[in-house]
Every structure is written in C-alpha cells, then in structure tokens.
Structure 1
C-alpha cells in the first residue's frame, strides 16, 4: 500500500505547484506592484522597460494582436458582466484614433494595462501591444498639436489622473525630490 500524505504535505505540494504556474516575468522575480522606480537604484529596469516599449512600437499590428488582447481581457473579467459588455463594445467600435479615450475611461483597458506595467508582466504587456502602439501614436499627435499652439515658455498644461499610492511609494516620491524617477504606468 502506498504512503499517505498528511494535510501539511498536500498543502505544501499545492503551494509549489501554484508557484510553478505563476506567469514568468523576465524583469523581476517579484510580482509586487510598484508604481514608482528610483532610477538611481533601478537604471537597468528602466532601460529594459524602454527597450521593451521600443520593440513593441516597432512590431506590426494586426487583428490577431487585437483579438489576443481581448481574449486575455475576457478571461480576466469572465465573471464581470459589466466589463464584458465594455470589452464587446471595444471589439465592435474601437479605432486607433480613440486610444486615449479608451485609456482614460473607467474600464478594463486602463486597469489591466497599468497593472501589467506596475508588475512588469511582460506577457500581458505583449498582449496589449497593438493598443500600446495606438496610444503612443495618438499621444504623439496630440503632443505635436499642443506644441504648435503653445511654444512660449509661459504656457503650461496641467493634467490630472487619479492613482492610489501606497504610503511607502508616497514616501519614496518625497525622498526623491530633485532626482530622477520612473512611473510604471503609461504616461
């Protein structure tokens, strides 16, 4: 008769199996979300992020890449009828000139993309590649229009986007006044 495993051993086996099934993150072995990076301490991470974005922007986009993103979103929100409705609206009505509009809405796009950027989840970031490229290009166009209108130094544009910060991240911002930091969201 085979040996019987007690509950502690089964729990440990389940924990090991669960950890083995975690998505691979090439930037870090930690999956903790972090919105702010101190560039004095994490220059290599910043460079990897910049290189990743450069590669994603150079990749051709296709309907297949859009479907890959939507499939991931549907899987994540499979039990949320409200978000599934928004995902279907995106599928039917999205156009590349509406990327900023979709990104600033209270919807799956903003939440999933920023979570992937904060955790540096390369798998999810890759699945959002077509949207990232559209968002980047639309922001470039808007920036160019803005710069044509306002070339004098006395003009400022103030924009706001709410984001929760943990107390330690707020302290990190305070500690880095006058130094370089990187935000792990799409700015």
Structure 2
C-alpha cells in the first residue's frame, strides 16, 4: 500500500469509526491526530473503539468492514511480527509462550461454550494479550 492509498484507507477507517461509534468522537479524534504505525498494538490493547471494531468484524466475518480495516490490520500485523522477532532475538528462544486476555462475553455465548465442553472451539479474531 503506497502512502496516498494508505491515507485514503485511513480516512475510510475513520469514517467507519465515526459512523459506528458517534459517542466516542473524542477517542476517534485522538486516534486521527496521534496515531502512528508503531501505535497499532497500543490502540488494540486499549479498551476503545479499535478493539471493539476489529474483533466484531473478525467474529462476524464482515468482509466489507474487514476491507475498511485493512489500513489498521496491516499495521497491527506488522507490529506484532516486529514484537515477536524482537522477543525471539532477545530471548534466543523459539519455545512456546502462553499469554491470556480476558474478554466479556454474553450469557448465550457462555452457555454455548458450556454445551461444547470437550469439543473443538475456534476463535475468529486476533488472539491478543
């Protein structure tokens, strides 16, 4: 993605955010004014519109929304790869690392998980901590 395409994709992303989360206009304005490529992980781990929007699009497999998110998802993937490489080089280890993140889920989802004990459960989303 070249710079002009990336800027256009960012504008599409911000428009989607403003349409979906008008009550979060201050946070969206902050994102617009301060966001850099290296901030992708920080914005994803904050409890704000970015995390909600990305995970909802992945969970529901909303291709139109995922296309609009391409600008951000590309940055997030790049940052995650960099973090992994830095960690691997610093520890000189290829061993498995277990990480956790809590997530609020509704009652129906919890009941559905309980019914599926002992079965394979697949997650549609970035697995993050």
**Partner of residue 71, structure 1:** 15
* Structure 1 portions without partners, runs of 5+: 1-58
Shift of 1:124: 0.7
Deviation, structure 1 residue 159: 2.4
User: For 1:103-182, what aligned pairs fall within 5 Å after superposition?
Assistant: 103-150=44-91, 151=93, 153=95, 157-165=97-105, 166=109, 167-172=111-116, 174-176=117-119, 182=122
Q: CA deviation at 1:113?
A: 0.9
Which is richer in helix?
2
TM-score for both structures, normalised by structure 2: 0.83
The separation in 1 between residues aligned to 2:77 and 2:94, in whole angstroms, is 25
Q: Distance in 2 between matches of 1:129 and 1:170?
A: 34
Q: Which has the larger radius of gyration?
A: 1
Structure having greater relative contact order (Cα 8 Å, sep ≥ 6): 1
Task: Report the count of equivalent residues.
Answer: 120
Partners in 1 of 2:31 and 2:88 — Cα distance?
Answer: 30
Structure 2 stretches of 5 or more lacking a match? none
Matches within 5 A, 1:32-71: 61-71=5-15
Partner Cα separation in structure 2 for residue 161 and residue 127 of structure 1: 25
Q: Give distance in 1, aligned partners of 2:58 and 2:68.
A: 12
The two structures have a TM-score, normalised by structure 1, of: 0.59
What SS does the corresponding residue of 1:183 show, helix, strand or coil?
coil
